[in-house]
Amino acid sequence: MAPYKALYGRRCRTPTCWIELGERRVLGPDLVSNIGDKVKLIRDRLKEASDRQKSYADLKHQEIEYPVGDFVFLKVSPWKKILRFGWKGKLSPRFIGPYHILKCVGPVAYQLDLPPELDQIHDVFHVSMLRHYCSDPMHIVPVEEIEVRPDLTFEEKLVQILDRDFKILRRNSVPLVKVLWCNHNTKEAT
C-alpha cells in the first residue's frame, strides 16, 4: 500500500498502512531476550535513581524525640490560623504554645496538655507538628513590674542615658542618644 495524501497535500500513513512489507518482524527468542535485557537495564537505572534520591533524603532526616514533661510549640496549619486565631496573612502565628507534653503515645506521636479554648481539636500530634521550646529566663518579664493598660499597651520609662554621639550626613549632623529603658538590660538599650 502506498501512503495517501492527507489534507494540505502532506503525505502520511493511516493506522491500516503502518505495517508494510519491509517493516514486518518475526517474533522469536532473539526479540524476547532483547526486550528482557532492556527491561532489566531500565529496572537497574530506576533503582539507581531511587537509591540516589533516598540518600539525599536521609542526609536531611533526623530522629526527633521529646521527653515527657518538656514544653513544645504546636504548628498551626494555614486554614486553622484564620478560623481559630483570628489573624490572616503574614501576621498570623505559625506556632502556638508552649504546651506541656503529657505522654508519648507512639514512636512519633505525643499527647499535649491543651488549654480549654482548644478542646475542639484532638490532643495527640505527630512529631513533625511540634517544635522544642527552649526556655530563656531573659524572655520572661514579670507581669507585676509592667503596668499594662486595658488596651494592652504599656509605657516605657527612661532609666539612664548611656552614650551620646553625632551621625554626620552630607549636609547636616544628627544627634544620637543610647538609652537604657526600664525592665530591660544593657544589651537591649536603644
113 CB contacts (<8 Å, ≥6 apart)? Answer: 99, 100, 101, 102, 123
Match 532489566 to its residue by C-alpha cell.
40
Q: What is the pLDDT of residue 119?
A: 82
Give residue-wise pLDDT tens across range 118-167.
888 889 999 989 999 887 776 665 555 566 677 767 777 777 888 888 88
pLDDT tier at 15, thresholds 50, 70, 90: low
Domain boundaries, the chain: 71-135, 140-188
Give residue-wise pLDDT tens across range 86-126.
556 666 678 888 899 999 999 999 999 988 888 888 899 99
H-helix or E-strand spanning residue 11: strand 11-12
Burial of 110 (0-12, 13-18, 19+ CB in 10 A): buried
